[in-house]
Amino acid sequence: MKKLLLVLFAFFAFSGIAMAAVNLNTADKAELESVNGIGPQKAQAIIEYRNKNGPFKKVDDLKKVSGFGDKSVANMRSELTVDLAAKADLKKEAKPARK
């Protein structure tokens, strides 16, 4: 019985992780690649766009990245997010420290 409960617990714990939305503003390449429809090249394009233009304000901003259009963004929307709190943290990190 303990083994069954352990297996069920592990299943639900990992399924919760798998269903978590990927934050476009903080995800690394591997996290971006975990989204259905984003491969290595598209993940790198997202990171490069983010580094050049700053954080995404909304998921639809992904359409500004080469290789993404209305249809692909619509298909991925449920797997992506742009966490507002994370954007604030990114802005804090971008400011140079005062002396």
All structural domains of the chain: 21-94 (1.10.150.280)
pLDDT score for 85: 62
Q: Read off the amino acid at residue 81.
A: T
Q: pTM for the whole thing?
A: 0.67
Q: For the segment 38-95, what is each residue's pLDDT rounded down to a tens digit?
A: 999 999 999 999 999 999 999 999 999 999 999 999 999 999 999 866 545 555 555 5
Give the integer Cα–Cα distance in Å for 79 and 61.
15
**Residue 33 burial (10 A CB sphere; 0-12, 13-18, 19+):** middle
Do 62 and 68 meet the contact criterion of CB atoms below 8 Å apart? yes
**Residue 61 burial (10 A CB sphere; 0-12, 13-18, 19+):** middle
Query: What band does 20 get if pLDDT is binned at 50, 70 and 90?
Result: confident
Looking at the DSSP assignment, which residues form a beta bridge with residue 80? 22
**Both structure tokens of 32:** 């971006």
pLDDT score for 1: 73
